[in-house]
A and B are shown apart, each in its own frame.
Chain A
Amino acid sequence: MTLVGMALRNLMHRPWRSGLSVGGVVLAIAAYVALVGLVVGIEGTMVDGFTSRGADLVLSEAGAEDILSSVVPDDLAAEIATTPGVAAASAELGRLTSMNDGPTIYVLGWAPGAFGWASVDFIAGRAPEPGDAGGGVAGGIGVGRALADRHGLKIGESVSIFAAPFRITGIFEAKSVIVGNGAIARLSDVQAQTYRKGQATALVAQFDPGLDGAGREAVMADLRARFPALAVDPTETLIDEFMNLRIARVLAWSVSSVAIVSAALAVLNTMAMAVNERRGEIAIMGAVGWPRRRIILCLIVEGMVLTLIGSVLGVGVGIAAAWGITSAPAVAGFVVPVVETATILRALALGIGIGLIGTLGPAWRAAGRDPAAILRGH
């Protein structure tokens, strides 16, 4: 018999109460893991959308809430491309829109010769060309394989995008989830259908190969000086700029915090009740020579076992919930949840914290009670 063995027996002795407390911890940890996993996933999907096509830098409208709200002149791409240290630059126009009045998809408009074209692999058909527009057709469009598979799209088929008919010219594979679940058309065709002639949402650029960190910083400083109305961000830190993602992060933390505080209260309640019911048992521990710290440790172990079981289950449930949420039709293809090892470790640490907060108080109080009064039945 060990302290852990005693804790397990006590928990199993009251299976309903223990089960409900574990359930509270599972919900809290699952909420944390799922929400953080989704936010990190959204951030990662966005960053991946740029990095997978070789963009080192993203230039967008300074102060824009997010990349899709940004408006920048597309002709700046040529100027940016001439900046020393910049290998290539191109304009792109990204929009979220419905396809055939149905699912929302991400549509990108890329200029001819944009380096992004090299990052997608047309496994059937071809990329859109200038001659695709005309005769009642707004233009050609390439669709990602995941999007084509999900909606049974075929080459030559006409799809309604921006309430205009686009003809599918090819199906491509992309490394990025969001691009692979979206569609790519020519920049001019997208501009024409969205009343954004001469406009783009972002200008993407590649550094000269071999440029070191200091060189990259110098290029960015140069661009910021030359284009003060633009936000110049390396793709890795792009997400820090956008208000919507910051709000999502705060919301994730807020909801997680509420769940975690609720779980701590549930454990506190469980342990307070358990300790109160077992005053006699705790008193006899003191009477047979258990020092106060061992009695407290015994009760803490009980709370910790409860919360550790809940935390481990919570991590599993959280991962499953995150994947379940992202497979819902409304968001499928936009987000891949990312549950990092650090998130799991933080979740387990939170679980341990819940156990300590919920257990320490009742344990301390119980171990400090006068055993004589309890043993004599007073």
Chain B
Amino acid sequence: MTGDIAIRAEGLVKRYPSMHRAALDGLSLMVETGEMLAITGPSGSGKSTAMYALAGLIGLEAGRVEIAGRRPEGRADWTRLRAGPIGLVFQEDWLLPTLSAAQNVAMPMVGGRRRARDRLIRAEALLAEVGLAGMGARAPAGLSGGERQRVAIARALANDPSILLADEPTGELDRDNSRQIVRLLSELSARAGVTMVIVTHDPEVAAACTRQVRLVDGRIEGGP
């Protein structure tokens, strides 16, 4: 940890029409650069909503987020951040079935400065980094669940993010694959200094992180 702040969230409030209480009820959170933070909590506590809020994928009723040194104002600002310093991993891999593994990894780079050929070279390198060397030509349908989630992690790293936000990244995997993914994320955090926020209900995943916070009713337990 460097002591610099990678993410600062203050007073986040999010309400869904279908819920009688706020999903985020004034959540405040600070994550230091290089930190690997686990957000845990019971179902419906607002864990995933918190991650989506930090990624700018949902609108908020109140509160503000400062992330990667920027305070995004609107949709375009958030889009630029997700195309740069923020990488996202979801519970489902959401790989595009018509593209190969390497093309899926290269997808976030489309529209960037890299040429098509360079994008694929980088995608292959990222696949090697997540333990899938030489599997770039495979279609997602030909990969196991663990392999698909590795491809999704490689895709999240495509634009060289400084912050990785993951929502239940092992939620759909068996124990072995889950451990491999956690090991991979820990290595990435240690080796590349990527700040990570991992939403999880799995104690083993949480234990692998450098810090844990527990969300209850949209607020950090014991927090302000």
Chain A residues with a Cβ under 8 A of chain B: 1-3, 6, 9-10, 12-13, 280-281, 283-292, 294, 370-372, 375-377
Contact = CB atoms under 8 A, between A and B. Distances in A.
Interface in B80-123: 80-84, 86, 88, 90, 92, 94, 96-99, 103, 106-108, 110-111, 116, 119-120
Given A1-B116, A2-B116, A6-B98, A288 B90 contact: no
A3 B48 CA distance: 31
A288 B88 CA distance: 7
A71 B52 CA distance: 83
A6 B167 CA distance: 27
A1 B107 contact: yes
A3 to B, nearest CB: 7
A9 B98 CA distance: 6
Interface of B: 48, 52, 55, 57-58, 75-76, 79-84, 86, 88, 90, 92, 94, 96-99, 103, 106-108, 110-111, 116, 119-120, 155-156, 158-159, 167
Contacts of B84: 289
B18 to A, nearest CB: 9
B148 to A, nearest CB: 13
B103 A375 contact: no
Given A13-B97, A289-B84, 18 more contacts: A1-B99, A1-B120, A280-B92, A280-B94, A281-B94, A287-B55, A287-B88, A289-B108, A289-B159, A290-B79, A290-B83, A290-B111, A291-B83, A292-B79, A370-B58, A375-B57, A375-B90, A376-B48
* Main SS at interface, chain A: helix
A362 B87 CA distance: 28
Most chain B beta carbons < 10 A, residue from A9, A12, A283, A372: A372
23 contacts: A1-B110, A1-B119, A3-B110, A6-B99, A6-B110, A281-B94, A283-B94, A284-B94, A284-B96, A287-B88, A288-B158, A289-B79, A289-B80, A289-B82, A289-B159, A290-B83, A290-B108, A290-B111, A291-B83, A292-B75, A371-B57, A375-B57, A375-B94
A288 B83 contact: yes
Most chain B beta carbons < 10 A, residue from A288, A372, A377: A288
A372 B90 CA distance: 10
Shortest 3 CB-CB contacts between residues of A and residues of B: A289-B83, A289-B82, A288-B108
Nearest to B81: A289
A286 B82 CA distance: 9
A182 to B, nearest CB: 59
A290 B111 CA distance: 8
Contacts of A292: 75, 79
Most chain B beta carbons < 10 A, residue from A288, A289, A292, A375: A289
A94 to B, nearest CB: 62
A1 B48 CA distance: 32
B58 A372 contact: yes
A287 B108 CA distance: 9
Contacts of B158: 288
